[in-house]
Amino acid sequence: MAEHYTSFDRSGRRWLLQRLTAVFLIGTLAFHFFLLHFVNHAAEIEFAGTQARMGEVGYFSMMVLFLVAATFHGVNGVYNALVNMGIEGTQKRVVGGVLTLAGVLLIVQGVRVAVAMAGVI
């Protein structure tokens, strides 16, 4: 299979997680878009409806998992793209650190927003 090229390290955990989150995101991203643009028109969305949706444990949990999976997939994808472009050494470590911090901050802030939407606080 000499023609089979991949830039990923196949033995790596990040390689596997990128694909597992991809499978999860195929469903959740399509669902998110469909629900908030086609079932409910974005222009007609009001806080009461958002709060009602986020008040359901199943929906809330799925949105938080969606956030975590999307953040990991996105940040890891950016990291892989930059590694693929040739960054190494200190540059690679700094990029990894900055992206990890950005990802953690996004998840924390996203969960704060989700909690506020659910009306828990």
Partner 1 sequence: MSETYNRGTVEDAGRWTEFSAGMWAWIFHKFTGWVLVGYLFTHIAVLSTATASDPAVYNQTLSGLEGLLIVRILEVGLLAVAVFHILNGVRLLLVDLGIGLESQDKSFYASLVLTGAIAVASVPTFLAGAF
By the criterion CB under 8 A, which residues form the site for partner 1?
1-6, 10, 19, 22-23, 25-26, 29-30, 33, 37-38, 41-43, 45-48, 50-51, 67, 70-71, 74-75, 77-78, 81, 85, 102, 106, 109-110, 112-113, 116-117
Minimum distance of partner 1 from residue 2's CB (angstroms): 5
Instruction: Please give the Cα distance from 49 to 40 (Å, whole number).
Output: 9
Between CA 8 and CA 73, with CA 107 as vertex, the angle to 5 degrees is: 20
Q: Looking at beta carbons only, is 32 or 92 nearer to partner 1?
A: 32
On the 0-12 / 13-18 / 19+ scale of CB atoms within 10 A, 58 is exposed
